[in-house]
Amino acid sequence: MTHDIQSELPIGVFDSGVGGLTVLKAIREALPAENLIYLGDTARLPYGTKSPASIERYATQAAAKLQAQGIKLLVVACNTASAVALDALREAMAPLRVVGVVEPGAAAAARAQPGGRHLVLATEATVRLGAYRKAIAACDPQAVVREHACEMLVSLAEEGWSHGDIARAIVQRYLDESDGHNPDTIILGCTHFPLLRDTIQDVADEGVILVDSASTTADVVREALRADGMLRGGGEPGSLRLLATDGATRFARVGGQFLGHDLSYSDVELVDL
C-alpha cells in the first residue's frame, strides 16, 4: 500500500466505554483532517475491576476488531488497558503502531509540576500495577506520587452524572481517603475522569492543577504519523465512525456529552467482538 493510500486510513481508538472519547476529541482538535474510528467495549465495561488476564483478552479483541477495519495507527484510549496490555497489544498488532495513554499522561504531569506531589485518580487495575508511579518516576525521579483507585467515578461518568451533589460527595470521599498527601497535581488517570474535571477541581484544594493525558496523547499521535509520513493532508475535515459492543442509545446519550455535541443512536454501530 502506498503512503498516500495509507494516510487515508482512519486512526483507530478504543476504550472500555465512552471515556476514550475524551482522547478522541483531543485528537480531532489537533488533527481535524484525520479519519477516525472509535470502539467502546460497553458490553464488558468496566475493565478496571477485572483481572489482568481478562483485561488483556478484552483489549486484544477490541484492537483486532479495529485492525480488521483497516487502520493506520491504534490508540489505546484506556489507562487500564494501556497499563495492563500495551506490550501484548504492540506484539499482537505489529507492525501497526500502538499508542497508549499512561506515558503521555505521566509526561503531562511531570511537565505541569516538575518534582511535584502528584495524586493519581485511576481504576483499581491501573493502581494495582503502579502504572503511573513507574511512568512518572521514569521522567521525573524527584516526583512524589500517590495512586488512588476511584472506580465509582467511572460509573458516574457513564451515567452522565458528572455534576451535582452526588458527584461532589463521591469525589469528596475519594479525596478524603487520600488525605495527608497534599498534592499539587491531580492526574486524571482514567479517560472517563475528564468529564468530572469541574467537580474534582471544585472539591480539590485551591491551586491544585488537574492534568489528563488527552492532549499529550494527541501530540504523540501527530508526531508518530508525521514520522511515518502518514498524516492526512487537505482541508477536508475527517470522518468519524462510532462502534460499540452494547447499548447504542446510552452510548449516544453519554457520548454526546463527552464530544460536546448531540449524537443519536443511529450514529453508533453495534458490533460483536
Distance CA 202, CA 263 (A): 28
Task: CB nearer to ligand DGL: give 80 or 162.
Answer: 80
Figure out which of the listed residues 9, 15, 62, 102 binds ligand DGL, where binding follows CB under 6 A.
Answer: 15
Q: Per-residue string for binding with ligand DGL, 50-89, x by CB under 6 A? A: ----------------------------xxx---------
Q: Is 217 in the site for ligand DGL (CB under 6 A)?
A: no
Give the C-alpha separation, 163 to 30, whole Å: 27
Burial class (CB in 10 A: 0-12, 13-18, 19+), 267: middle
Give the binding range for ligand DGL (CB under 6 A) out of 12-20, 109-117, 219-227, 242-250: 12-20
Taking the complex as a whole, the smallest distance from the CB of residue 228 to ligand DGL amounts, in Å, to 25
Give the type of residue at 70: G
147 counts as binding ligand DGL under rule CB under 6 A: no
162 scored as a contact of ligand DGL (CB under 6 A): no
135 binds ligand DGL (CB under 6 A): no
In whole angstroms, the minimum distance from the beta carbon of 226 to ligand DGL comes to 26
Residue listed under C-alpha cell 456529552: 257
Per the annotation, the verdict on 78 as an active-site residue is: yes
The DSSP-derived string for 24-75 is: HHHHHHH-TT--EEEEE-TTT---TTS-HHHHHHHHHHHHHHHHHH--SEEE
Residues 85-124, mask of contacts with ligand DGL (x by CB under 6 A): --------------------------------------x-
Q: Give me the helices (H) in the chain, please.
A: 3-8, 21-30, 52-69, 79-93, 102-112, 124-128, 131-139, 151-159, 165-177, 197-203, 214-227, 248-259
Binding of ligand DGL by 154 (CB under 6 A): yes
* Number of residues in contact with ligand DGL under rule CB under 6 A: 17
Nearest to 82 by CA among 111, 46, 47, 112: 47
Distance in angstroms (rounded) separating the CA atoms of residues 19 and 107: 20
Q: Does 31 bind ligand DGL (CB under 6 A)?
A: no
N residues, the chain: 273
Hey, which residues between 178 and 197 contact ligand DGL (CB under 6 A)? 190-192
User: Which residue in 79, 23, 14 sits closest to 41, CA to CA?
Assistant: 14
140 touches ligand DGL by CB under 6 A: no
213 counts as binding ligand DGL under rule CB under 6 A: no
- Which residue has cell 500495551? 86
User: Which one of 78, 85, 98, 248 is the catalytic residue?
Assistant: 78
Cell representation of residue 95:
507492525
Catalytic residue among 63, 190, 208, 230: 190
- Catalytic, 139? Answer no
d(CA 24, CA 28): 6
- Nearer residue to ligand DGL within complex by CB, 135 or 231: 135
CB 80, min distance to ligand DGL, A: 4
**Site of interaction with ligand DGL (CB under 6 A):** 15-17, 19, 45-48, 78-80, 123, 126, 154, 190-192
Catalytic residues: 78, 190
